[in-house]
């Protein structure tokens, strides 16, 4: 009996293991960047790509959907967005497809207790008829752990930091919680045929790591917080945070070629650093920025674009219309931005970038 109890205890502390992180022979891939709690916008972009029908059911057949992280924070409806992705995982698999919800820096922040960008709507989504009772029990546990009786002012401050629904929120993202287990079982980086997908980017520090090594290390740290100090999750140069591929130009060619060789890919698709409203290619299309600022907090005109790979060929679905990605950073890029801007409500967020290219 003792041996059996020890076995189950071991299962609780071991990090979840994702079954796969490399896929080949996938005919169609759709990749969506940061959602940040905007459920309606997520549904809208999935519909534009034909991945869900009018009822929100999977209609993508054998396609693979990649969501590159940051479903959480800022917007109010991250719970609804996660519930949708969880349901679509099963529906896609039954149809021969896949849904890959990657771990972004905001998933890691919430799981490790960093609530800087948590919105009130995200917390209130967990509030129900029992929340008053749940918070009262949490306060008693807080006093018990402190070993003393607090003053009324102390309780008021604690309640201000613990709105109704917050206790349930924290439990839901804990190791045994529905969303905590779901996120911890995911990957931070995957490879599908010739494309590497992740949230931030691969820096020189991690250029020679493997996909599996990154994913294993992320899951270890999200399970054992003593590993966070000096680890990969909080590192500005780690795959959840690195912005060099999105922001730097000078001196990046050699590093990028080394990354492409090591990971055996033709291109890297990244989120994290949002663009002017559509997919932006860099370094001749070897880096594709797919965080378009989908959440309405960035643009009340409701942006809508995603990356599509059709038999390995990358293109953009911008407001439901397929656009060819440019092959250079000059006239072809200007052509592409003008085509996308013509589909946007005026004024297009691409207008400043178009004006800059025209000046050049």
Domains of the chain by residue range: 20-120+175-325, 129-164, 328-360
**Which token pair is 161?**
């930091």
Convert the pLDDT of each residue in 194-243 to its tens digit. Answer: 999 999 999 999 999 999 999 999 999 999 999 999 999 999 999 999 99
Report the distance separating Cα 135 and Cα 236, nearest Å.
Answer: 35
Write down the pLDDT at residue 15: 53
Average pLDDT of the chain to the nearest whole number: 94
Whole-angstrom CA distances from 135 to 77, 104, 143, 144 are: 22, 29, 12, 14
Task: Please choose, from the candidates 110, 99, 223, 236, the residue with its C-alpha nearest in 3D space to the C-alpha of residue 172.
Answer: 110
pLDDT at position 326 over 60: yes
Report the distance separating Cα 55 and Cα 91, nearest Å.
Answer: 13
Whole-angstrom CA distances from 216 to 20, 24, 85, 176, 334 are: 11, 21, 22, 19, 41
347 preceded by cis ω (within 30°)?
yes
- H helix or E strand, kind and range, residue 189: strand 189-192
pLDDT at position 8 over 50: no
Write down the pLDDT at residue 14: 53
Task: Please choose, from the candidates 20, 127, 6, 119, the residue with its C-alpha nearest in 3D space to the C-alpha of residue 73.
Answer: 119
Q: Which of the pair, 360 or 288, is modelled with greater confidence?
A: 288
Write down the pLDDT at residue 64: 98
Q: What is the DSSP letter of 24?
A: -
Whole-angstrom CA distances from 256 to 112, 199, 237, 260 are: 31, 16, 14, 6
Report the distance separating Cα 56 and Cα 342, nearest Å.
Answer: 28
Write down the pLDDT at residue 133: 97
Report the distance separating Cα 318 and Cα 339, nearest Å.
Answer: 9
Q: Cα(first)–Cα(last) distance of the chain, in Å?
A: 75
How do 305-310 and 28-32 pair as beta strands?
A: antiparallel
Write down the pLDDT at residue 19: 59
**Contact indicator for 68, 77 with CB cutoff of 8 Å:** no
Quick one: CATH architecture of 20-120+175-325?
4-Layer Sandwich (3.60)
pLDDT at position 5 over 70: no
- Measured in degrees and rounded to the nearest 5, phi and psi for residue 137 equal -65, -40
Write down the pLDDT at residue 89: 98
Mean pLDDT of 301-323: 97
Report the distance separating Cα 278 and Cα 293, nearest Å.
Answer: 8
How do 267-270 and 195-198 pair as beta strands?
A: parallel
Task: Please choose, from the candidates 242, 247, 253, 249, the residue with its C-alpha nearest in 3D space to the C-alpha of residue 209.
Answer: 242
Mean pLDDT of 77-101: 98
Please, which pLDDT band fits residue 328 given cuts at 50, 70 and 90? Answer: confident
Find all residues with CB under 8 Å of 221, minimum gap 6, and list them: 227, 228, 231, 232, 233
Convert the pLDDT of each residue in 103-157 to its tens digit. Answer: 999 999 999 999 999 999 999 999 999 999 999 999 999 999 999 889 999 999 9
Please, which pLDDT band fits residue 7 given cuts at 50, 70 and 90? Answer: very low
pLDDT at position 336 over 60: yes
Write down the pLDDT at residue 329: 81
Of the candidate ranges 16-25, 89-98, 173-182, the one whose mean pLDDT is the lowest:
16-25
Q: What is the DSSP letter of 188?
A: S
Convert the pLDDT of each residue in 248-305 to its tens digit. Answer: 988 899 999 999 999 999 999 999 999 999 999 999 999 999 999 999 999 999 999 9
Report the distance separating Cα 301 and Cα 219, nearest Å.
Answer: 37
**Contact indicator for 35, 122 with CB cutoff of 8 Å:** no
Mean pLDDT of 170-185: 97
Write down the pLDDT at residue 327: 84
Q: Which of the pair, 327 or 69, is modelled with greater confidence?
A: 69
Please, which pLDDT band fits residue 17 given cuts at 50, 70 and 90? Answer: low
SS (H, E, C) 79-98: HHHHHHHHHHHHHHHHCCCE
Mean pLDDT of 16-36: 90
């Amino acid at each position: 009996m003792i041996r059996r109890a020890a076995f189950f205890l071991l299962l609780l502390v071991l990090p979840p293991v994702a079954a796969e992180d490399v896929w080949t022979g996938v005919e169609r891939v759709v990749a969506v960047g940061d959602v940040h709690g905007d459920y309606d916008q997520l549904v809208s972009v999935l519909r534009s790509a034909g991945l869900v029908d009018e009822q929100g059911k999977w209609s993508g057949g054998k396609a693979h959907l990649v969501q590159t992280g940051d479903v959480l924070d800022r917007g109010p409806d991250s719970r609804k967005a996660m519930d949708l992705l969880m349901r679509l995982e099963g529906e896609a698999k039954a149809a021969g497809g896949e849904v890959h919800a990657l771990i972004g820096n905001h998933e890691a922040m919430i799981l490790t207790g960093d609530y800087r960008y948590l919105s009130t709507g995200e917390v209130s989504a967990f509030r129900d008829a029992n929340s008053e009772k749940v918070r009262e029990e949490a306060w008693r546990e807080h006093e018990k752990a402190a070993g003393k009786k607090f003053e009324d002012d102390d309780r008021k401050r604690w309640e201000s930091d613990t709105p109704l629904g917050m206790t349930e929120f924290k439990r839901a993202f804990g190791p045994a919680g529905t969303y905590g287990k779901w996120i911890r079982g995911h990957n931070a980086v995957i490879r599908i045929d010739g494309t590497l997908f992740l949230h931030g980017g691969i820096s020189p520090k991690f250029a020679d790591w493997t996909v599996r090594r990154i994913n294993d290390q992320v899951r270890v740290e999200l399970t054992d917080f003593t590993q966070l100090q000096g680890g990969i999750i909080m590192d500005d140069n780690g795959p959840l945070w690195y912005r060099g591929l999105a922001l730097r130009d000078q001196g990046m060619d050699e590093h990028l070629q080394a990354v492409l060789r090591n990971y055996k890919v033709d291109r890297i698709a990244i989120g994290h650093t949002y663009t002017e409203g559509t997919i932006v290619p860099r370094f001749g299309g070897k880096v594709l920025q797919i965080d378009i600022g989908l959440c309405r907090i960035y643009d009340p005109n409701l942006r809508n674009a995603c990356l599509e790979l059709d038999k390995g060929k990358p293109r953009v679905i911008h407001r439901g219309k397929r656009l060819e990605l440019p092959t250079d950073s000059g006239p072809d890029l200007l052509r592409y931005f003008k085509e996308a801007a013509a589909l946007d409500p005026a004024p297009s967020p691409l207008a400043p970038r178009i004006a800059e290219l025209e000046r050049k």
